[in-house]
Structure 1
Amino acid sequence: MSAGLLRRWLLRRFAVPREAHAATPADYGLVAIEVGLPARDGRRLHGWFVPPAGGTPAPAVLVMHGWGANASLMLPLARPLHDAGHAVLLIDARGHGASENIDFMSLPRFAEDVAAGLDWLGGRHDVDRARLSLVGHSVGAAAVLLEASRRDHLNAVIALSAFAHPRDMMRRHLSAMGLPWYPLGALVTAWVQRLIGARFDDIAPLTTLPRARCPVLLAHGLHDNTVPFAEAERLAASRPGTALIRVDAGHDLSEAMPQARGAFERFLNASASVPET
């Protein structure tokens, strides 16, 4: 297969399945502002910003969805975060939800959109830029960990259903397609890394989580068939002190929020009082 054909096959095979929003903040009793913020490449990112209910400036949480999802699927998290005193920004990554399209998405590009959201929050008068936290699901979890590894001043990170290494995800994906790892899988993986402009070893949560300069909480479903629970255990072991919550759920943790709500609130509140190192 020629380089051009392989590139076109990869772009087609890993194209983002765009889904419309299934709900709005109002469905969860939240008063939100619909916002448009610039991505690093100038494209428009759609988001919902839920201003703080109490005094300002207030701590804020940026919430990032996973691959093929959108901000509406993360709304079950918004209410408990807001009730706990945080402003909340939920954004659609490029090529997702109501954000502008892009030729292809990747973990590094998800992280770029997280960075754009943090920059936007840092410019608001009602947000305390010294108390910004991140929450992400699946690829979004890997993205918030990647961005956290690059920032000196974050309050905390909550990673939901995070995978340990992109290569493991690629192996599972190609196996489901019936493609052998050697030689085809290894070739495709090499080309994906070339396409996204990053080595898997450099952007893997196993690499980025230990580099994060803030407290990290992992939450993972015991019945996750997309990312096995064992990967969460590997991640937790990669940095001593990383908390891990076991949730009676699959890959989608939205229905399990009542189980984890209290733990999330306690973690974020405790992290706000942890001195920077």
Structure 2
Amino acid sequence: MLWQLAGHLYPPGAARALEREWFRPPRGTGPDHAGRELLAQARMDWALVTGQGASRRVRVYRWGSSGPAVLLAHGWGGHAAQWQPLVAPLLAAGMRVVAFDALSHGASDAGARGADQTSVVEMSRALLATAWHAGPIHAVVSHSLGSAALALAIREGLHLQAAVMIAPPADMHRAAAALAWRLGIGPAILARMQRSSERWLGMPWSALNVPALGRIRPVPPTLVVHDRQDHEVCWENGAAIVGAWPGAKLMTTEGLGHRRVLRDAGVIASTVDFLGSMAALPRHARTSGVAALHA
């Protein structure tokens, strides 16, 4: 009701408030004990994101010293430690692993608009900076908004042999429209907010459509994993990406939701096996990675 009233009485203020809300990452809980132990075992350094003012540091974590490199990209409000269940199986399968905290997330610097604001564009720039710093990168595994950041990075020229997208959103405009509808905000306020944000994002919102990328650029072989009961990013998003990206495969899960999917043994095994097949690793190495889940 307050949003509706604000939209009627002062549209510019309502649009600015919506913009702040949309670009504010949630402040969830930090790493659990297992996640802290994982980060303590990593080799840590920094990658630099340039542009939009002073350079900003992105915290980079690395495990392993040989094999094709797999980069892990967390989602909105996430952090590198959320990948704890996947790191050991990837290492056991003969890969080295790189992860990072996006700007305004985890141990990285604040983004250009401050610690409580960032965007998928900044997440993509952090991903690209990490890939350049720790590369060459063989594949990326991404979760949620990290998948949209990955798509932007591919649009900007990141070359990969494989990608795994877990619970990816397809279209930022559609997602913002859904939020506006839930808040009772009309299309005119949403359009005003998007026009304002395009000025500092440096690109139109149409560039944030993940399925469209597969129609205009070469994309790597991609496995999309999405749960039917994902109430944050509905399953149809992943299906739309698979329908538009040539050669992409869809793995549908049941009952794992948006986050538990990252810890599921079947999802981890399928991810490791898919990346191993794209890297032409011996089958025994890939199965040893899967077996590590149960060690």
Question: Does residue 62 of the first structure (1) align with residue 71 of the second (2)?
Answer: yes
Per-residue CA deviations over 1:45-67 (Å, capped at 9, x if unaligned) read 11221123xxx3x2111111111
Q: CA deviation at 1:154?
A: 1.3
Match of 1:261 among 239, 259, 268: 268
Larger-Rg structure: 2
CA separation of 1:3 and 1:26: change in aligned 2, threshold 3 A:
closer
Relative to the length of structure 1, the TM-score reads: 0.84
Percent sequence identity over aligned pairs: 24
Counterpart of 2:75 in structure 1: which amino acid?
A: G
2 CA distance for matches of 1:212 and 1:40? Answer: 26
Per-residue CA deviations over 1:135-181 (Å, capped at 9, x if unaligned) read 1111101111221233363121111111111111101211222223x
RMSD of the alignment, in Å?
A: 2.6
Match of 2:130 in 1: 117
Structure 1 residues 183-198: aligned runs within 5 Å: 183-198=188-203
CA separation of 1:245 and 1:61: change in aligned 2, threshold 3 A:
same
The answer to whether the 8 A contact 2:219-2:245 is kept is no
Aligned length: 262
2 CA distance for matches of 1:7 and 1:83? Answer: 48
Match of 1:208 in 2: 213
Match of 1:107 among 98, 117, 120: 120
Question: Does residue 39 of the first structure (1) align with residue 49 of the second (2)?
Answer: yes
Relative to the length of structure 2, the TM-score reads: 0.79
CA separation of 1:194 and 1:266: change in aligned 2, threshold 3 A:
same
Q: Report SS of the residue matched to 1:148.
A: helix
2 CA distance for matches of 1:18 and 1:36? Answer: 22
Counterpart of 1:167 in structure 2: which amino acid?
A: H
1 CA distance for matches of 2:227 and 2:28? Answer: 23
The answer to whether the 8 A contact 1:160-1:253 is kept is no
The answer to whether the 8 A contact 1:30-1:79 is kept is no
Whose RCO is larger (CA < 8 A, sep 6+)?
Answer: 2
Which structure: greater helix fraction?
A: 2
Q: CA deviation at 1:79?
A: 2.1
Match of 1:140 in 2: 146
Structure 1 residues 240-255: aligned runs within 5 Å: 240-248=246-254, 249-255=256-262
Match of 2:288 in 1: none
